[in-house]
Amino acid sequence: MTAQAAIRTFKLTAADGYHLTATLRGAECAGPLTVLAPATAVPARFYARFAEYLSQHGRPVLTFDYRGQGESAPPSLKGFEGRFRDWGILDIPAAIAWADGAYPGRPLHWVGHSFGGFGLGLAHNNARVDRLFAFASMSADVRMMPLSARLKTWPQFFAGTMIARTLGYLPAGLVGTEALPKHAMLEWYRFCTTKEFVFGVKDLPETRH
């Protein structure tokens, strides 16, 4: 185990020009580069201790926040246009592209929590990832839940969409520790209530990846 790794915070630029806040630990480490991709409504700082652990064991580690989340959120989410799909088709590819440029030829390992695991599948450049460890990642089609879980989930989704439409965002604490942009909440609800989840969404051609 090495001493505490140096930490650098910087901006990733997505293909549409949006700037995401990212943190690199252990830049000088010789092991595979590991990217930690967050769950919905969970900020990158939540994974800081795990990132530090990995860097102390010889891996450079990148963490980042999706648009509208954590340090990548604007001062107010009202009127913010970021969608749920944008995290997978724009933000995750930005992290992969940065990794490819900063560590060319270095093995790239991806640790994805919930959305961070299945969202990688929407990224056009995901073939660059050598290994994926996804946890709490699943098809979120509510039809696959036990009836007891569905009876709890449907009202929560209904209330969440109504609140998001009314306030222009979903306040923190109703889903995770972060507030959710309105369009991210509405699209999340749409995906989860679509048969076969993202594979049933007709206007999401990125599932081909």
Task: Kindly report the three-state secondary structure assignment for every residue of the chain.
Answer: CCCCCCEEEEEEECCCCCEEEEEEECCCCCCCEEEEECCCCCCHHHHHHHHHHHHHCCCCEEEECCCCCHHHCCCCCCCCCCCHHHHHHHHHHHHHHHHHHHCCCCCEEEEEECHHHHHHHHCCCHHHCCEEEEECCCCCCHHHCCHHHHHHHHHHHHHHHHHHHHHCEECCCCCCCCCEEHHHHHHHHHHHCCCCHHHHCCCCHHHHC
Ordered per-residue pLDDT tens for the chain, 209 residues: 556 778 999 999 999 999 999 999 999 999 999 999 999 999 999 999 999 999 999 999 999 999 999 999 999 999 999 999 999 999 999 999 999 999 999 999 999 999 999 999 999 999 999 999 999 998 888 888 888 888 888 788 889 999 999 999 999 988 878 999 999 999 999 999 999 999 999 999 999 99
73 within 8 A of 18, measured Cβ to Cβ: no
Residue 208 in tokens: 């081909």
Task: Select from 59, 58, 53, 70 the least CA-distant residue to 9.
Answer: 70
Place of tokens 């709490």: 136
Whole-number Å distance between alpha carbons of 207 and 68: 22
Whole-number Å distance between alpha carbons of 99 and 131: 14
Confidence (pLDDT) at 2: 57
Residue 181 in tokens: 């942009």
Confidence (pLDDT) at 1: 54
Q: What pTM value is reported for the model?
A: 0.94
Residue 79 in tokens: 């009127």
